[in-house]
Amino acid sequence: MTSRFSEQETESYYDSEDAIYRSFWDEDGSVHWGVFDEETGDDFLKACANLDNMMVSKGQITSSDRVLDLGCGNGTTAIWLSGDRNCHVTGVDLSGVRVQNAQSARAKLDQDAQSKLAFEKASATDLPFDDGSFTRLWSQAVIYHVPDKEKVLEEAYRVLEEGGIMVFDDLIKPKPNISEAAQKFVYDRLLYDTPFNFESYQDALKKQGFKILEAHDLSSHLRNSYLCLADRTPKFDAEHAEHYDYLTNSYRETARAVDNKELGWGLYICQK
Ligand SMILES: C[S@@+](CC[C@H](N)C(=O)[O-])C[C@H]1O[C@@H](n2cnc3c(N)ncnc32)[C@H](O)[C@@H]1O
């Protein structure tokens, strides 16, 4: 399955947009969404941390695990995960700039922490690892970008050891026909398309050989995340005013697309 976007376009996008994202999404460099509950209230970063903790627990990640963070971005979550679980984490990402940032962040840690982390530039469609190299595969907000999603699932399955668990979230398309606004402000803006809705994603995972342990439709949390992000974009930045206005509007349109079932968000936990 392919889409109209190339990996090269995605790479250039993520190479160039880091400073903008850090200015309002998360200054530590993570770029994913959050799961809201009574404890997080409407605190976006707490909700993002809530998703991280949920994935650790559902992915059953312990100190003996060798984890691959697929699309690790700036390495923020990989570094947190390795410290939190005392496990080894390898992060790969398509963006050379972000991998460089991750390597610089790793270099600031003590020797013990550094020995449990590795970062490398690679595409999720062509992983530079032997079969069965990892016990866990972790991925947040990545696969939607990849034109050939089935190839990513095939590679994920290949590099996991027998019995290994993949825990990841991804955008989904609840219905095939979407409005012009959703196309423009969501799909085109995110360099994204997908053939998968919540259920057919699970069929694709099963086709690769995965057993589904859990699947959760988190679409309402995606909507809340984008409404928080619309509020978080700087409102008085003269230099980037036009871009921030565009993002604020796009985030509100993205929340609307979720309401209209033109966009959704799934969390999947599956086992090889
Ligand atoms: C929304 S960001 C999420 C980054 C990170 N997982 C996080 O939570 O902060 C999406 C990331 O996916 C990466 N990406 C997109 N296509 C990729 C591919 N084919 N292989 C590896 N990484 C990819 C981008 O470079 C970007 O860093």
Over residues 44-87, the pLDDT tens digits come to 999 999 999 999 999 999 999 999 999 999 999 999 999 999 99
| Residue range 258-263: mean pLDDT, rounded | 96
Minimal CA–CA distance to 55: which of 196, 216, 184?
A: 216
Q: What pLDDT, in 10s, does the model give residues 185-217? A: 999 988 888 999 999 999 999 999 999 999 999
Domain 7-271 indexed as CATH 3.40.50.150: yes
| Rounded Cα gap, residues 232 and 226, in angstroms | 9
Which residue's CA is the nearest one to ligand 1's atom 4?
73
Residue 236 DSSP class: S
- pLDDT above 50 for 2: no
Residue 68: CB within 6 Å of ligand 1? Answer: no
Q: Show Cβ contacts of residue 195 under 8 Å, excluding neighbours closer than 6 positions.
A: 1, 149, 173
Task: Determine the pLDDT at residue 5.
Answer: 75
The CA distance from 113 to 111, in Å, is: 5
DSSP code at position 144 = G
Amino acid at 160: L
Q: Which atom of ligand 1 is nearest to the CA of 140?
A: 6
Q: Is 102 in the pocket of ligand 1 (CB under 6 A)?
A: no
Atom of ligand 1 nearest to the CA of 26: 9
pLDDT at 3: 54
